Structure 1
């Protein structure tokens, strides 16, 4: 599986890259039919303090799987996004296994 991590309008972070790559690799081990993952970290000026955004897009057989979340830090946003992605993967696996 190919994992591409991009930082939009913010500096590169090796720590965040390693964190999210390990999370996505675990998903790749569990669901071998994932071919590619694209991860985006974005920072917005949000008065509520939830301006840290993590988006993950997975290339799979059928439509792509996408999730996004925002929080007050990138680690929590990445954790929530991978949790949402895993829910979608479980649903997709149930559909695939039914056919």
Structure 2
């Protein structure tokens, strides 16, 4: 499984990148059918005091899974986005393995 972390118009942060890869790897151990993850960190200073955006695109069997969040820190955005991704993966897993 490949994870690409992109910082859009930002300086790269090794700490954020390492945290992201660690969290994605933990997630993909449970969902081993994930093919690739693209994570984008962006900053939008015009968004009501938040402005730290994290977007995750997952390549999986079937349609791509996508989630995004906008918080006051990249860590909080990453956590919220991963929570949304986890919910979508659980739903997809149920669709792939009906009982």
TM-score category of the 2 structures, normalised to the smaller one:
over 0.9
Q: What are the equivalent positions in structure 2 for 1:35-50 lying under 5 Å apart?
A: 35-46=35-46, 48-50=48-50
CA-CA distance at 1:45 after TM superposition: 1.2
Taking structure 1 as reference, are residues 47 and 24 closer, same or farther at Cα in structure 2, changes over 3 Å only? closer
Displacement, 1:14? 0.1
- CA displacement at 1:41 relative to structure 2: 0.1
Match of 2:15 in 1: 15
Match runs of 1:2-81 below 5 Å: 2-46=2-46, 48-81=48-81
TM-score of the aligned structures, taking structure 2 as reference length: 0.97
| Number of equivalences | 99
**Which consecutive residues of structure 1, in runs of 5 or more, have no partner in the other structure?**
none
Any idea what the Cα deviations from partners look like across 1:52-81, whole Å, max 9, x if unmatched? 000000000000000000100000000000
Instruction: Using the TM superposition, give the Cα deviation of residue 18 of structure 1 relative to its aligned residue in structure 2, in angstroms.
Output: 0.6
Task: Tell me the TM-score normalized by structure 1.
Answer: 0.97
1:97 aligns with 2:97: yes
How much has 1:48 moved relative to structure 2?
Answer: 2.0
